[in-house]
Every structure is written in C-alpha cells, then in structure tokens.
Amino acid sequence: MSPATQRIGNTFKTFALLAALTGLLLVFGQVVGGSNGLIIFAAIAVIFNFAAYWFSGPMALKMSRAQPVSEQEAPELHEMIATLSARAGIPKPGVYMTPAEQPNAFATGRNPKHAAVAVTSGIMQALPRRELEGVIAHELAHIKNRDILIASVAAMVAGAISAIVNVLQFQMLFGGGDDDDSPLGFIGTIAAMILAPLAAVVIQMAISRQREYVADATGAEILGDPNPLADALVRLHRGTEVVPMQVNQAAAPLYIVNPLGSFGRKMSGLFSTHPPMEERVGRLRAMAAYSHRA
C-alpha cells in the first residue's frame, strides 16, 4: 500500500468513526430521553465532532498523564527525535514523558505539524539507545503515515462511550429508565448499557492491526535496520508482564505494545488492536534477512 493510499484510507476511517459516533449518540439520546434526549445528544454530537478533531491529541496525552520535557531535561531524547524526524521528512513533534514505570511509548496528534511523541519514564531505563531509536522510529512512522489522528479519535470515542454507559447507569439509579417519552423505557436502557461496551470494542477494532504492521515496516526504513525495533518489541512485550500499568482501556491501542499485559493478550484475535507480537517480530526479522541478502 502506497503512502498516499494509506493517508486516504486513514482519512476515510476517521470520518467514518465520527459518523458512527454521531449515530450512536443520537440512538442513545432517543433511548435515554426520547425526543428531548435526541435533541440534547444531537447538540452533544456536534460539539464532540469538533472536539474530536481539534483536541483528541491533547486528550490522549492527558489520559496518560504525559508532560512535556525540555531539551535541558532530556537532551539525548530530543536529539534522537530530531535526527529521526529529519530522516522521516517530518517536523520534529512535541516530546512528552509519562510517569509510568512500564516501558512503552505512543504518538498522537491530528497531523505531522501538530503531533507529539510520548515515552514512559520506564522505557528510558529499560532500552539501550539503539532499541530506543527503533521505538522512536516506529512512533514517527505513525506520524509520517498520518494515522495518528484515527488512533487518537478512536481513543476519545471509546472514552465517550464509557461516559454514556455511566449516564445510563445514573438514569436507571434514579428511575429515568421508566420515562414515558423514551420509546424503549427500562428494557431499552438495559439493552443500551449492554450494547455500549460492545460498540466501544467495535470502534477499537476499527483501528486496523495493519496500522501497526505498516508502522513497524516504515520505522525500520527510517532507522535503516529492522533488528533494533524487533529487539525492542521483545523487551517491551516482557516489560508489560513484569511492570503493570494502570491505563484507560480506551487509550491502550495508542501504545506500541499493549500496556494491559496478559489481560490484553487474552483479548487477542478479533478483539485486539495489537497484532500478535510473534508476527510483528517475525516480519521485522524477515525484512532484516531480505536486506542482508540484497
């Protein structure tokens, strides 16, 4: 898939996600409050669509408690990101760090001019320089491929759906499910509470696992060697087991490896936005072997 085709596909997916959320909010508004709820949730949908585009990146950083770090605080990290960004042909993104001890990283933003790379404090101690370069190259690949927006929007959408479930629970607690204006009443509210988390899973699945494969390959090209990234993935994969991390499940797909550890891997297959680690590493090793033969 060419970079241009990749960008067009990601743009389509982003608008599809926003359209799906709009429809979901309208349906839930009808279930919760009938015609009045429909009007209220229609207004919420308009506001959310605007906010999802402009603020999904900052929200992703806030969800992970990431803070900007200056060149004085992390000179080697800044130098690494600047060098690899130049190789990738993109502007240097903002540099952030989260307090998490688990070694991990993610990229977010709405486009290459408004992007950020966030690393955990744990990754700075866990990886040697060359492997850390592989991870940074992978995250810069997400920015270069313009798929950071769809991931950030999806995380925000999933978070919104969780909030909707809380609203429905509050509605039931105070007897709102018996509202005569609601066409489905109590049964509809119960159904919405069950279906909302499933809808969140579907939205997370909308982030194709191919996104990670493409970022691995592009990152290897940026670095000029697939092996450091492959080695880093193996080390990070083990790190999720040794060092657990409390992370909003909606934001988990943003990270280079699933931060939820064994729980996340139990959700592998159709319900995982992260490809199997063995497959990712295998593809990178195959790239290295092909380059060596060439």
pLDDT over 50 at 268, yes or no = no
Averaged pLDDT, 137-160: 80
Per-residue pLDDT of 97-111, as tens digits, reads 999 999 999 999 988
Q: Are strands 67-68 and 94-98 parallel, antiparallel or unpaired?
A: antiparallel
Query: 147 exposed, middle or buried (CB, 10 Å; 0-12, 13-18, 19+)?
Result: buried
Q: Is the pTM of this model over 0.75?
A: yes
Rounded distance between C-alpha atoms, residue 270 and residue 61, angstroms: 27
Q: What mean pLDDT comes out for the span 171-179?
A: 57
Given a cut of 80, whether residue 242 has pLDDT beyond it is yes
Instruction: Give me the active site residues, please.
Output: 139
Res. 207 pLDDT band, cuts 50 70 90: low
Q: In whole numbers, what is the pLDDT of the chain averaged over residues?
A: 80
The answer to whether residues 252 and 260 touch, using CB atoms and an 8 Å cutoff, is: yes
Distance CA 221, CA 287 (A): 10
189-197 mean pLDDT: 66
Using alpha carbons, select from 209, 191, 186 the residue that is nearest to residue 267. Answer: 209
Confidence check: pLDDT of 81 > 50: yes
The dihedral built from the CA positions of residue 74, 77, 81 and 87, taken in this order, carries a sign that is: positive
Q: Which residue has the higher pLDDT, 91 or 174?
A: 91
Instruction: Determine the average pLDDT of the residues in 54-75.
Output: 91
What is the arrangement of strands in the sheet containing 114-120, beginning at the earlier edge strand? 67-68, 94-98, 114-120, 105-111
**pLDDT tens figures, 218-232:** 999 999 999 999 999
Average pLDDT over residues 250-271: 69
